[in-house]
Structure 1
Amino acid sequence: MTYSIGEFANIVSVTTSTLRYYEKEGLLTPQRDENNLRKFTDSDIGWVKFLLHLKNSGMSMTELKQYTQWREIGDETLKERKELLEKRKQLVEEEMESLQKNLDVLNRKIEFYEDRLKGHKYEFVL
């Protein structure tokens, strides 16, 4: 099945301008019909959704382009792609740890305020 750029944008929850930008940057290569209109396929859905996960993990455009190039080359780049994903995974885990520490402090401060509102008096210590 094929999809127009508008249909495809709705399916993957991005704007048509985002899809055009990704194509311009080499992240997407949609098929073209006889009128030179973009036609996206079901396999494009999975690829774009994966790209969006990579982007949302903090991967830079340079890294996204590199990953895309390695993907196009094929299985001989599996090691490189795996290493790039492992690097990104480590950075995401570090960010999650930092966010968890911040969340813990926020929760403790909220508990402190709840105690104060109940009349308990003590100093908040980090």
Structure 2
Amino acid sequence: MAYTIGEFADIVGVKQSTLRYYESEGLLTPHRNEHNSREYNEQDIGWFQFLLHLKNTGMSLTELKQYTDWRAMGDTTIPDRLELLDQRKHFVEMEIQALQQNLDILNRKILFYHDQLTGNKYDFILYPDKEENKDESKKVMPKTK
């Protein structure tokens, strides 16, 4: 099935100008009909959605272009694409780890404030697992009933 640029933009959830930008950057190549109007198909939907996922991992425009070029070259570039995706995966895993640490600290601080409001007073220690805080760590996360 063929989709106009407006239909395609609605399906993938972006503005038509975004699609034109991706096209101008060589990341998306719609087919053209006899009137030279853009036509997109099901494969274009999958490809564009994958590009958005890569972009959402923090992949740069340069990396997106490189990946797109390698894809167009065929299977001989699979090792290159695999390496790029492995690098991005490692980066995302590190970001998730950092976000999890930040979430843990937020949760501990929220618990600390709840405890303060209920009269359970103690000093908040940002990093209770550090060696100098071993004795103090019990104060950070008091047992709740």
Moved over 4 A (4+): none
Amino acid at match of 1:29: T
TM-score scaled by structure 2?
Answer: 0.86
Instruction: Please show how residues 97-108 of structure 1 align to structure 2 within 5 Å.
Output: 97-108=97-108
Map of 2:118 onto structure 1: 118
TM-score scaled by structure 1?
Answer: 0.99
Of structures 1 and 2, the larger Rg is shown by 2
CA distance in 1, matches of 2:110, 2:10: 40
CA distance in 2, matches of 1:23, 1:122: 58
CA distance in 2, matches of 1:105, 1:39: 49
CA RMSD of aligned residues (A): 0.5
Instruction: Please show how residues 1-126 of structure 1 align to structure 2 within 5 Å.
Output: 1-126=1-126
Name the SS for the 1:2 alignment partner. Answer: coil
Q: How far off its partner does 1:34 sit?
A: 1.2
CA distance in 1, matches of 2:95, 2:105: 16
Total equivalences in the alignment: 126
Identity of aligned residues (%): 64
Mark the runs of 5 or more structure 2 residues left unpaired by the alignment: 127-145
CA distance in 1, matches of 2:102, 2:118: 25
Mark the runs of 5 or more structure 1 residues left unpaired by the alignment: none
Q: How far off its partner does 1:100 sit?
A: 0.5
Q: How far off its partner does 1:35 sit?
A: 1.2
Higher relative contact order (CA 8 A, sep 6+): 1
Q: How far off its partner does 1:119 sit?
A: 1.0
